[in-house]
Amino acid sequence: MATLDSTAVPDYGRRLRLDGKHFIVLGAGQGMGRQTSHALHQMGAGVFCVDQDSERAAHVASEVKGIAYVADCTKRDEVRGLAAEAEKQMGRIDGFVDIIGMARWCELLQIDDESWNWQFDIVLRHAYLISQEAGKRMKAAGGGTMVFIASVSGLTAAPMHAGYGAAKAGLMAWVKSLAIELAPYNIRANAVAPGSTLTPRMEAAQSAEHKAATARSIPLGRSGETADIAAAALFLSSDLSKQITGRTLVVDGGVDVKFPYQGLDKDDAADGAFKRANSQ
């Protein structure tokens, strides 16, 4: 006779809740950052909304009843200042979500030193700084979560934006090291790697034809929304993911698991298998 399972069943909805917790969102002013601020707020968290643009920071903070703060997160003194102010105003820092990042498009052989340095600053330097400045405070407070927005460009080739891809790959490596070194202090570190996502910037830059062609290349048949990335960041910030650290969650509609030979349809594949079977 089988033994009945008497393991306690947790309140899964409660594990998603963030009541009484406080988070910093870097790059909160628009797109993924704005959606993430709303996601955290809806689950009960207090949100410290950081952006370089004062108007954007203030607008998002007003939407989520949060605190607006303006900083250049590639500068050590400004990141140290924002972490200290977040702790002062909220009482403690339970986590952060770092959204900041942008690509410059250029042939690999034409990248100059200024662009290379800029690319690593806008993708990686702020991650290093906020990890240290907020991490020290989370360690002292007994734990927390770190979530970074990476990119599928760090997992594959990144043609015409190779510097961006290299920096995002570095970010994912940084997350792994954070996870191991900070685990003893009850700090988890993870990343989200978006694929094609219709941020406000991408919406403005792409033609309708380009958007349609991109959607056709995605197994789910659509580009991602900024809310999709916010949802992943929320999951990784909550106790629903309390046994997950050092991981990168890919949110790309299935592109990264596609069969690589895109010109081969199912009829071609079946015909090929028949020919191979009958040639032996």
Question: Which of 153, 149, 133, 162 minimizes the C-alpha distance to 74?
Answer: 133
Catalytic residue from among 12, 69, 128, 164: 164
| Distance of alpha carbon 136 from alpha carbon 114, whole angstroms | 31
Place of tokens 């947790």: 10
Place of tokens 């629903």: 240
Amino acid at the residue 83: A
Q: Which pair of tokens denotes residue 238?
A: 């909550």
Torsion of CA 214, 219, 221, 222, to 10 degrees: -60
Is residue 164 part of the annotated active site? The answer reads yes
| Residues marked as catalytic | 164
